[in-house]
Amino acid sequence: MRLILFFLLLFTLSTYSQNNYPQDYFAPPLEVPLVLAGTFAELRSNHFHSGLDIKTQQREGLKVLASADGFVSRIKVSHYGYGKALYITHPNGYTTVYAHLQKFSPEIEAYVKKQQYTKESFEIELFPKAGDLLVTKGNMVAYSGNTGGSAGPHLHFEIRDKNEHPINPMLFGINVKDSTPPFVKAVYAYPIEKHSHVNHSNSKQKLRLIPLQNGDYTVENIEAYGKIGIGIITNDRQDHAPNKNGVDNIQTFFNGSKSYELDFSTFSFDETSHLNRLIDYQHYKEEKERIQKLFNDENPLSILKPSYNDGYLTIKDSTSSVFKIKVNDYKNNPSWITLEIKGVKNDSIKPETKKPTPYFIKADQNINLKEGKFSVDIYKDTFYDDFYMDFEVHNDTLILHDDILPVKKNISISYDVSNFSDTDKSKLYIANVLGYSKYPAYISSSLKGDLLTGRAKNLGTYALALDTIPPTISSKNVRDKQWISNYRFLKIKIDDTPSGISNYRATVNGKWILMEYDYKTKTLTHDFNDGIVTDTKNNLKLIVTDNVGNSSTFEILFYRK
């Protein structure tokens, strides 16, 4: 019996090529060759990318095919994020996701529109039952697009397991050509402790990177002492595209022994924001480039594999060590970076000290800070480390440190608005003041009695802002009293400053009509093929409301036969 089990196990193992994921089960979701604008788990703003971004030849409307047999288990239409997205669940338990779609296949589109008209909303989330919308591998389920947060036409494609963990589709045999190893833009060294130093400094050092003829790299020899960590800026290019995409795996070796590993095969959505701890967040905010730390400063991310000394190097006086970094892409093309480190103790180096402020934040405690009309609530475990916070209030402006530390939870910012008239009170909001933007950015705010409270997702400067200006509405393709019998679409432009658009509602002769909103072009579009507009004389009424409740109404007549 035991022997049979053994052979069974052996057989099971040998049917998979390099991993436990089914091979050749999932087919590519497009008919065009797969060229990538983004790879799995590459570093994005506040998250790891959860799929492949497949290029669609700079256009929309390519056929999107079901990657395998299954049923549509979820459909989500949203203004932002994934835009129009389709989820297909397969008999083997995996789910494939297709996002930023232009529209769905006629059958699915009819199913979605029926629900949109019933609920009178463009944004919608549906969970069809297993038998409702069956799909066959290779059949068209949608058309590729550029909806939601997409910055150009492409298809976002994901494979998730039963636990909703996204997995690199390339591990299922989805094949993308990649013949060049990752490239390295920069290597940094971080003195970790008070008396550590690198090249006779106690602060972060950019090391001089020297590309070698064979594609590998070396770094100009460094002198160091004490506990130090290394960081790297690295990207990978696939064939046929210039996009700087993510890498698959990074390992480090200290004097021949493996000391650290980052593996980007899978992760969970719960942990994705810990990316901000993996990168040097301050460097990212200041320089707009992402240094990945090759040491684990108490980061719970599962892509960090248990490692010797958490990846830190301890350099002793009068020693010489070799540190190597190996960066692999998804085709296992490696790039090696070699650093030679001389241990040289230097007692004359002054440790870099952080200037104390009266506001010492202990990461494991709830904190309330009050000054003037502002009150700030920080919940425990909002920050990774204890630190001295810069906290200042100047009239209606709150300085809540610089946005240089990652934040795990929303920070609650309240302002006492009792001095304002009742009319003004309702038009106030909390804004994040960003140096580069013209208008202070609205953050989700609510008024309870005389207390206006906003939820801040990051540190930085905040201010009380007032919005009394209603949204603007203008027709893009129809004039008042115009005959438009041959028009397929009705297009209206809407905009709002400074707080932004919250919602809109359009009716024709009193009947709700579906208008799709694209925030990037500020356009609302109605498709006359929906068959709702059937009268000759039509009165269009559109009401648009901004984030503090100012609203505008737009009315025109148009004729069709």
Q: Which residues of the shown chain bind Zn ion in the complex (CB under 5 A)?
A: 53, 156
Instruction: Please say which residue, 148 or 460, places its beta carbon nearer to Zn ion.
Output: 148
- In angstroms, the CA 137 to CA 69 distance is 5
- In angstroms, the CA 510 to CA 10 distance is 68
Nearest-approach distance from CB 158 to Zn ion, in angstroms: 8
Q: Show the tokens assigned to 462.
A: 């905040």
Note the helical H segments in 258-299: 275-278, 281-287
Nearest-approach distance from CB 38 to Zn ion, in angstroms: 5
Nearest-approach distance from CB 95 to Zn ion, in angstroms: 16
Nearest-approach distance from CB 39 to Zn ion, in angstroms: 10
Q: 34 and 176 in contact (C-beta within 8 Å)?
A: yes
Instruction: Please say which residue, 242 or 356, places its beta carbon nearer to Zn ion.
Output: 242
Pairing type for strands 320-328 and 334-343 reads: antiparallel
Q: 543 and 553 in contact (C-beta within 8 Å)?
A: yes
Quick count: other Cβ atoms within 10 Å of Cβ 127? Answer: 11
- In angstroms, the CA 213 to CA 375 distance is 58
Instruction: Please say which residue, 50 or 205, places its beta carbon nearer to Zn ion.
Output: 50
Instruction: Please say which residue, 156 or 427, places its beta carbon nearer to Zn ion.
Output: 156
| SS3 of residue 480 by DSSP | coil
Nearest-approach distance from CB 159 to Zn ion, in angstroms: 13
- Residues 6 or more apart whose CB falls under 8 angstroms from that of 77 comprise 83, 84, 85, 112, 116, 122, 123, 124, 125
Q: Phi-psi region for residue 102, left (φ > 0), alpha (ψ -120 to 50) or beta?
A: alpha
Nearest-approach distance from CB 47 to Zn ion, in angstroms: 10
Instruction: Please say which residue, 148 or 311, places its beta carbon nearer to Zn ion.
Output: 148
CB contact burial 445-468 (16+ within 10 A = b; e otherwise): bebeeeebbbebebbbbbbbbbbe
Instruction: Please say which residue, 53 or 60, places its beta carbon nearer to Zn ion.
Output: 53
SS3 per residue for 125-175: EECCCCCCCEECCCCEEEECECCCCCCCCEEEEEEECCCCCEECHHHHCCC
Instruction: Please say which residue, 148 or 440, places its beta carbon nearer to Zn ion.
Output: 148
Nearest-approach distance from CB 149 to Zn ion, in angstroms: 9
Q: 292 and 359 in contact (C-beta within 8 Å)?
A: no
Nearest-approach distance from CB 156 to Zn ion, in angstroms: 3
Instruction: Please say which residue, 251 or 266, places its beta carbon nearer to Zn ion.
Output: 266
Instruction: Please say which residue, 76 or 156, places its beta carbon nearer to Zn ion.
Output: 156
- Paired strand residues for 400: 391, 460
CB contact burial 362-375 (16+ within 10 A = b; e otherwise): eeeeebebeeebbb
Side chain identity, residue 178:
D
Nearest-approach distance from CB 100 to Zn ion, in angstroms: 7
Q: Show the tokens assigned to 270.
A: 């719960």
Nearest-approach distance from CB 101 to Zn ion, in angstroms: 12
Q: How far is CA 20 from each of CA 163, 263, 387, rounded to the nearest angstrom?
A: 16, 16, 44
Q: 544 and 469 in contact (C-beta within 8 Å)?
A: no
| SS3 of residue 7 by DSSP | helix
Nearest-approach distance from CB 29 to Zn ion, in angstroms: 13
Instruction: Please say which residue, 56 or 252, places its beta carbon nearer to Zn ion.
Output: 56
Report the residue number whose CB is nearest to Zn ion.
156
Nearest-approach distance from CB 99 to Zn ion, in angstroms: 7
Instruction: Please say which residue, 439 or 519, places its beta carbon nearer to Zn ion.
Output: 519
Instruction: Please say which residue, 52 or 430, places its beta carbon nearer to Zn ion.
Output: 52
